[in-house]
Chains A and B, each alone.
Chain A
Amino acid sequence: MRRWWLTLFPLPKPCCFCTTPVRSFAFSSVWKQMCLSCQEQFFPINGPVCQVCGRPMTEEDLSVCIDCRQLDSSTWVTNRSVVLYKGQAKKVIQWFKYQGLERLAIPLGLWMAESCYHYYRRVPLSLITFVPLHPNRLHERGFNQAELLAQVISQRLGLPVKEILVRERETFSQSHRSRKERLQALQHVFKVSNRIDPGWLRQQHILIVDDVYTTGSTLRECARPLRQANVRQIFSVTFAR
């Protein structure tokens, strides 16, 4: 009897992004497992978005945003993001990626999986991969944030994760460079790992996972070697943009 009662009125648990207690069910959405003030500081992307990069658009806009239209359409990667990169999202990414609070991969990844289900439900995805780090960086940081997210998403969506790409050069801090310099630094840094069977890879519909979408150049660079390997389709998902 008591158990049944508890499922109706669950005990408070800490909010998944701070310590405020929240009453929520284990199976409810990530949004409902958050406290009110966290909810208020996240800016979820709902409603119409650019059909390419997933940026929020107003109703009257065209289906593809100005930035995307300036790009060569053969390099387009269909991307969707969960929230805008401001407020609490910025803080949470800071804790997760730079402070190394790895457990945040779970709520972030589950939330991303919800978005994947929302946007990519009708797409025959077959495989999840992630933006790789250079081995030196990986050794220093101890984990790849995109890989952790990919693992959580894979469990929720029931799709396998595979490390397909490798980063060949180290690209140093991007923040103080101009847009052009960044693009140049990124060019041809990714390559398909030689442990991957090309015949198998050709059959795949791939979802690439990353934490933040800034200009999209990282994801487009990731897609380049995959396109050369003739994979069927490429999509991507990031937590924030």
Chain B
Amino acid sequence: MQYYMSIAYAVDLTYWQQKGQNMIPLFYTSSFGEAYQWIEQQEQQKMDPFEQDVKPFYKDQWNQLRLEAEKCFEMLQGRALLWSEVLSLIRKRNIKITEETLRAVLQLLYLEEKVKWYPGVSCSKWLQDWVCHRCQADFHHIRLTRCASCGKHCAMCEHCIMLSRSRTCTPFFLFSAKKVEQQCPVEVKSLRLTAGQARVSEQILDFLQGEEMMFLLWAVTGAGKTEMMVPAIRHLLSEGKRVCWTTPRTDVVHELVPRLRALFPKENVLALYGGSSDLWMDGSIVIATAHQALRYVQVFDLIIVDEVDAFPLYQNRSLEQGIHRALSQSGKIVLLTATPPKEWLAWSRSGRLPSAILPVRFHGYPLPVPRLFQERRLWEKVKRQHPIPVLSRFIEQVIRKDGQAMIFVPGIWQVKQLVSWLHKHVREWHSICGVYSQTPERAEIIDQFRRKELQCLVTTTILERGVTVPHCHVLVMGADHPVFDQAALIQMAGRVGRSKDYQQGEVWFLSMEKTESQIQAKKQMDYLNSLAEKEGFIKQGAYYQ
């Protein structure tokens, strides 16, 4: 005896009749999760009887349904979606189909084992067993509410709610992926790799052929990681495979999409983030925020996890499992980072995690090494608008070298205090702006800074990655604050010297005391520079023309 669930009973009736199998309806419930739990645990609890009068499909109707099912499956394969998301996808693709027919279609796919399903959230008797099947979040993120859809107490997941509400009474579908293995020509804009980039991209191509599943690429800020990945992406696309580039930050998606579209002019490059117009479309290269990767299952042969150390991906079990779910059975993962966590470096040294280091930027100039300064009662002086000679010296040299200053501070209050300090003490600058996470005109201010209309930008760690302007100098005020860990300090220093035409940019760390993270950050950059020198990269001659 086999138990099945049904969201369109007429389909079961017809399907099993045709197979000559007997079938009886057991009970009816308004909650998908309740039915699922009943089958899982065989708890013979009392349920409402099934009392609907359902007729099987006519022959024509049935054939029509099979056609519809084939058409829908084509679009849904490789996706992991909640019922409401299936609807959105079907609507976006302009498929004229009623919700009722869609339910029948999904039921048929389920009986044909082309789709697996789970309730969005499982909540059994034991709290420890509660889980969101979409994002794997546990009871910490699951909330029991009175639900008007199923009329019962029903659990919802708050962890992946920015995608859509995953609930006990709603089904979550995992459509199996079709394998397409065909040779197809891929057009790539010709690109020049530096010697260092070329060596790394060779290593990645070797890794794709090999047995290992994960590869760590430690490339300094400004090394040109997009270009390095191009040969690997081209190789996979030419075999008809699909690639996903995922990142924790939407900014990175916006930045990468135009570059990859230019590099692969004939390919369909999708940008997926909340509110993107590419949502629900198909493409061979998918550039997605980490959460969007939760909507795929076993489709990608390569997933590039960019800025893998950035919040919230690092140490986030749910997103990690999402990435593994989106990976095909023989798929590979490349982890990209400029600031690898300690334990990864240990794995890499012990050979557990194959890896490559690119210690030099694309233009071949060394990384700017931070200078450390101490100042007593720093924030008190800022608050009281007392003079701070080191700060003034930093600003003087920025002005002398015709640069722009990015000043990082630990929090919002410090942004405001420092901005008013600068207004009082720096006569030469009249355009100074403060930015923090909730500044409404944030994007506009950053654009002004890029256009050189602002001379100084005071900000919190939100801009530690991403924003690069050629004439940038960086000062980290209060570098001893715990929000500035080693990785953050390296990222902030990495804003400087990105253009080969302006190498006068400086990085200063100003704090009340020297901390381990400041010392380690400086050490790491010295190490990378010496490594680059040893390997002969810090020379103009080392470049391909």
Contact = CB atoms under 8 A, between A and B. Distances in A.
B36 to A, nearest CB: 18
A229 interface: no
Interface string A36-59: 111011000000000000000000
Interface string B509-541: 000000000000000000000000000000000
Interface stretch (B2-10, B56-64, B158-166, B350-358): B158-166
Contacts of A37: 412, 436-438
A139 B99 CA distance: 15
Interface in B430-453: 436-438, 440
Contact of A142 (B149, B412, B437, B440): B149
Q: How large is the interface on B (under 10, 10 to 19, 20 to 34, 35 or more residues)?
A: 20 to 34
A142 B165 contact: yes
Q: Name B's interface SS.
A: loop
A144 interface: yes
B440 A41 contact: yes
A60 interface: no
A179 B161 CA distance: 33
B180 interface: no
A99 B160 CA distance: 10
B440 A143 contact: no
A100 interface: yes
Interface string B131-148: 000000000000101111
Given A100-B165, A102-B143, A139 B149 contact: yes
A144 B148 contact: yes
Contacts, number: 45
Nearest to B162: A99
A36 B148 contact: no
A162 interface: no
Interface in A79-129: 87-88, 99-103
Given A100-B156, A101-B161, A103-B143, A139 B148 contact: yes
B347 interface: no
Contact of A143 (B148, B161, B436): B148
B137 to A, nearest CB: 14
B165 A99 contact: yes
14 contacts: A37-B412, A37-B437, A38-B438, A41-B438, A41-B440, A87-B440, A100-B161, A102-B156, A103-B143, A103-B158, A142-B145, A143-B145, A143-B148, A144-B148
Given A99-B161, A99-B165, 17 more contacts: A37-B412, A37-B438, A40-B438, A87-B440, A88-B438, A99-B162, A100-B165, A103-B143, A103-B158, A138-B148, A139-B148, A140-B149, A141-B149, A142-B147, A142-B148, A142-B156, A143-B148
